[in-house]
Structure 1
Amino acid sequence: MARGDGRLTTDLEPDNPGPRDACGIVGIWAPGEEVAKLTYFGLYALQHRGQEAAGIAVADGDRTVVYKDVGLVAQVFDEKTLAPLQGYVSIGHARYSTTGSSTWENAQPTIRANSNGVSISLAHNGNLVNTADLAATAKANGLPPGSMTSDTGVLTALLTGHESNDLAEAACEVLPQVKGAYSLVFNDNDTLYATRDPQGFRPLMLGKLDNGWMVASETAALDTVGARFEREIEPGEIVSINENGVKSTHFTAPQPKQCLFEWAYLARPDSRIDGQTMYQSRINVGRTLAREHPADADMVIGVPESGIPAAIGYATESKIPYGLGFTKNTYVGRTFIQPSESLRKLGVRLKLNPLSDQIRGKRLVVVDDTIVRGTTQRALVKMLRDAGALEVHVRISAPPIKWPCFMGIDFATREELIANAYDLDGIRDQIGADSLGYVSLDGLTAASEQKADNLCRACFDGQYPVELPDNLGKNLLEIAST
């Protein structure tokens, strides 16, 4: 694996830790194919889900090799780094940190050999909430603490520490102890495995390749690689893929609570969940937003990229012309998932520039997907006013975010959330808008075409589907290990 200097190692290097993430994951089983390159393209399609680190593990039947490093997928990998990754089983990870520092050590996939010398690598999308208890269990079983500075490291240790030679059997016994959000791809030397937590917080899709199978966080990654979408991995299901085909087993009954934030923000607009594209869902949200919060304006603009579908829906419903208000530097990543406030402020200026000729002298409706801390919207409103907008009416295609997420989104304290510090008028004043309106929670839920009981909406309503312990925090295990 890469350790900053690009050095390759094998699974014989012990105790390589990984983070607890809400990220993009890919798994490939395809004999005769260049699985590392397929995984690379899949990760590239999921870059929006994580921009801090990337990694790929490849197994050839005898051993597993991992390469990972800090940076974007295209920065970490090229022809030279992909060339040694030869085999027919591969998993990949694009990291967005919610637990664990942004360091090489916390990049994924993790890798570890079990007591029989069989290599296991693992990539994780989600957050666990009982990590401390799981780490205590692992340590009590004699597993070295150095491998467990994150919940992904703990999961890997528990799986490799299990006495069964059958990794699916081991997972069926370990996973019922695990609480929280996890979509996983993992492998031994010849088999690809994929699983989701009983609630199915994070998406995970199964696709068919011409000569194999693919698993990915979103259907957009399947489309990019040319895999045909088959179905979603079910909550509480473990899928095993090898020369014997696809085998499915359930370690528990499903209790679906998929994250509504996937519809509001996370997933690519061309991805599909439960048969519906996120683009159409966001168009529907925009139409609802126009009915719930009309405005007297000359033009509707969307904040690129994820605010644009809702803006189109708002314009369609309100009969106010839609126009482009910003140009976007496509080589700058999402500001929301940058790890510090100072970088978020700088990122807004780097990413977007107003089209002054289009907006000067106009009353604008500006549609964005969320307000988390208010930093982005404050900068956007100021830019539009400086560019000559007469009025700026902000409309948000998600409800106010008032509660922290412990299932994979990096706003971990209530103090960070502007909707907890101010009421609607206060938020409007803070961002400098002439008016402000959020879509209702019922409106967003209806646009997702999901039953409210099957969704996790905790960041909006504070109703968490799983019990939360007191000791939660981004650096919980790193602090405990010092």
Structure 2
Amino acid sequence: MGGLFGIASTNDCVSDLFYGTDYHSHLGTRRGGMAVRNSQGIHRSIHNIENSYFRSKFEPELTSFRGNCGIGAISDTDPQPLIISSHLGTFGIVTVGKINNLESLVREAFERRRSFSDTTGGVVSPTEMVANLICEEEDFESGIQSAQAAIQGSCSLLILTDKGIYAARDRLGRTPLVIGRRDDALAVSSESCSFPNLGFQTERFLGPGEVVCLTGEGWEQRLEAGPRMQVCAFLWVYYGYPASEYEGINVEFARNACGAALARHDSVDVDYVAGIPDSGIGHALGYSNERKLPYCRPFVKYTPTWPRSFMPQSQHLRDLVARMKLIPVRKLIEGKRLLFCEDSIVRGTQLKDSIKILFDCGAREVHMRPACPVLLFPCEFLNFSTSRSTLDLVGRKVIQELEGSEDTDLHAYAVHGSEKHLAMTDRIRQRLRLTTLKYQRLDDLVAAIGLPKEKLCTHCWDCSSTF
């Protein structure tokens, strides 16, 4: 996914920018970057963080940064920030999202005799494409508005200018941006968890398509929010850090509610409730509290040297990381009936390995309760569950096994409790070698988050969201 952080201060902002950006490391993936503006211009640095951590890469060079205004990014796509020289001036830009029509936008740009300098693996940088679209207009406001209208998918962004920081949330608000305030500075962030330890108070969540400009003295709205929002529901289920809020709704609170909803529809007899670390823990605590069952940790996560399992780009490396970072506690497993809560089941390969380890350690039963419904449609907006083939999704794979073809009515399988849904769920259970498997109901997930369904993107489960 990726995350953004920006700060405009009346004092030097480098330390706050460093820590604020670092608080987005749970989101990603491949690269981290910072840019600071001072009287000499913009100073930028970008590092690969696939096999390291943001802090260890940037801390040694902090003394070379100075300035009162800066932006940072953790990116799972292209190197960021980019520094652009144009008729609008020299500016830095960071983005997060997914541009589905990037190829067609590039072709149109070539037809207008435009050029691109920043490519990754032969692909034009999405961030440079956004900058190119912005620079076709006479001011930043018009440029951002034009770019958002041209992009199919989603794109939230920060722009570092000599006037301050422009912050723009994507057109349908799929990714969040929130403003924080303290006496000497304003900050804007993808994650509100970056604020408390830096002394910021959450002031306002930007609306869908809204654009504001921040300086050290305050912020000003430049474009009003649009009427429609479809914020990604996976922010609460999986992506978000427990201390963060989106639209004023805390992540850990929503996960507890998800687990409680799973518990209310369950009566299986077990000895312990547990969560697959890390994001499954909040769901499991909610389940445990609702059913008054003891919570324990049969798996503990080893974090000092093993990064997040979605970071490596190959499936083989993802599986290796997932297997090596979770260490079983045999004393809590042997002879026990265990129920695990998990944020989601995407491909199922990592989970299958974990279940095998549990049975190898002597578990009597292993029950699984995912906090969301079966994933049937690859994400079109944030790279979650995106793959080259829909058959990488375990739900789609078993549907093909049941139907003998991909050409079928997928929505019939999405209806919780239907004959097709039950058949699909049982086939997934068999593949994973689980004792029982029950998925979250979509209406219960929506209720746990607490927003109306029309304000949530639920595309991965029911393909109902707007492009």
TM-score (norm. length: structure 1): 0.86
CA displacement, residues 124-174 of structure 1 (integer Å, 9 cap, x when unaligned): 111122323332333334321334613212001222343x2x423432343
Q: Which residue of 1 aligns with 2:109?
A: 138
Q: 1:62 deviation in Å? A: 4.7
1:112 is aligned to 2:84: yes
* Whole-angstrom distance in 1 between the partners of 2:217 and 2:24: 29
Q: 1:260 deviation in Å? A: 0.7
CA displacement, residues 45-82 of structure 1 (integer Å, 9 cap, x when unaligned): 11110131100011114511210011131232013x22
Match of 2:393 among 411, 417, 438: 417
Letter in 2 for 1:25: L
Q: 1:253 deviation in Å? A: 2.3
* Conserved 8 A contact 1:112-1:157: no
1:152 is aligned to 2:127: yes
1:276 is aligned to 2:249: yes
1:401 is aligned to 2:375: yes
Q: 1:436 deviation in Å? A: 0.7
* Conserved 8 A contact 1:364-1:389: yes
* Conserved 8 A contact 1:445-1:451: yes
* Conserved 8 A contact 2:157-2:167: yes
* Whole-angstrom distance in 2 between the partners of 1:293 and 1:243: 52
Q: Which residue of 1 aligns with 2:406?
A: none
* Whole-angstrom distance in 2 between the partners of 1:290 and 1:380: 22
Q: 1:254 deviation in Å? A: 3.1
* Whole-angstrom distance in 2 between the partners of 1:197 and 1:387: 47
- Secondary structure (helix, strand or coil) at the match of 1:310 reads helix
* Conserved 8 A contact 1:26-1:217: yes
* Whole-angstrom distance in 1 between the partners of 2:86 and 2:301: 48
Pick which of 323-332 and 281-290 moved more. 323-332
Pick which of 393-402 and 292-301 moved more. 292-301
* Conserved 8 A contact 1:301-1:324: yes
Match of 2:97 among 116, 126, 130: 126
Q: 1:227 deviation in Å? A: 1.1
Q: Which residue of 1 aligns with 2:66?
A: 86
Letter in 2 for 1:459: C
Q: 1:235 deviation in Å? A: 0.8
Letter in 1 for 2:129: V
Q: Larger relative contact order (C-alpha < 8 A, sep ≥ 6)?
A: 1
* Whole-angstrom distance in 1 between the partners of 2:126 and 2:29: 19
* Whole-angstrom distance in 2 between the partners of 1:459 and 1:202: 15
Runs of 4+ in 1 over 4 A off after TM superposition: none
1:37 is aligned to 2:15: yes
**Cα separation, partners in 2 of 1:353 and 1:310, compared to 1, 3 Å:** same
* Conserved 8 A contact 1:61-1:189: no
* Conserved 8 A contact 1:147-1:157: no
* Whole-angstrom distance in 1 between the partners of 2:215 and 2:282: 40
* Whole-angstrom distance in 2 between the partners of 1:139 and 1:190: 31
* Conserved 8 A contact 1:29-1:241: yes
Q: Which residue of 2 aligns with 1:371?
A: 345
* Whole-angstrom distance in 2 between the partners of 1:229 and 1:251: 20
CA displacement, residues 15-54 of structure 1 (integer Å, 9 cap, x when unaligned): xxxxxxx201101111312x22212111221111013110
1:63 is aligned to 2:47: no
* Whole-angstrom distance in 2 between the partners of 1:228 and 1:251: 23
Q: Which residue of 2 aligns with 1:361?
A: 335
Q: 1:432 deviation in Å? A: 1.4
- 1:299-378 maps to which residues of 2 (within 5 A)? 299-331=272-304, 332-378=306-352
* Conserved 8 A contact 1:359-1:387: yes
* Whole-angstrom distance in 2 between the partners of 1:55 and 1:70: 9
* Conserved 8 A contact 2:133-2:146: no
Letter in 2 for 1:374: G
* Whole-angstrom distance in 2 between the partners of 1:240 and 1:317: 44
* Whole-angstrom distance in 2 between the partners of 1:261 and 1:147: 31
Q: 1:374 deviation in Å? A: 0.3
Mind listing any 5+ residue stretches in structure 1 that lack a counterpart? 1-21, 98-105, 467-482
- Secondary structure (helix, strand or coil) at the match of 1:127 reads strand
Mind listing any 5+ residue stretches in structure 2 that lack a counterpart? 399-423
Q: Which residue of 1 aligns with 2:229?
A: 256
* Whole-angstrom distance in 1 between the partners of 2:351 and 2:33: 33
* Whole-angstrom distance in 1 between the partners of 2:8 and 2:140: 16
- 1:140-289 maps to which residues of 2 (within 5 A)? 140-147=111-118, 149-162=124-137, 164=138, 166-242=139-215, 245-250=218-223, 253-289=226-262
Q: 1:88 deviation in Å? A: 1.2
Pick which of 302-311 and 312-321 moved more. 312-321
Q: 1:251 deviation in Å? A: 5.9
Letter in 2 for 1:174: A
* Conserved 8 A contact 2:153-2:381: yes
Letter in 2 for 1:160: C
Letter in 1 for 2:458: R
CA RMSD of aligned residues (A): 1.8
Q: Which residue of 1 aligns with 2:458?
A: 457
* Conserved 8 A contact 1:204-1:217: yes
* Conserved 8 A contact 2:9-2:217: no
* Conserved 8 A contact 2:262-2:369: yes
* Conserved 8 A contact 2:343-2:371: yes
- Secondary structure (helix, strand or coil) at the match of 2:64 reads coil
* Whole-angstrom distance in 1 between the partners of 2:363 and 2:430: 17
Q: 1:252 deviation in Å? A: 6.2
Match of 2:26 among 17, 27, 48: 48
- Secondary structure (helix, strand or coil) at the match of 1:377 reads helix
- Secondary structure (helix, strand or coil) at the match of 1:145 reads coil
Match of 1:96 among 76, 96, 118: 76
- Secondary structure (helix, strand or coil) at the match of 2:135 reads helix
Letter in 2 for 1:414: T
Q: Which residue of 2 aligns with 1:439?
A: 440
Q: 1:244 deviation in Å? A: 6.3
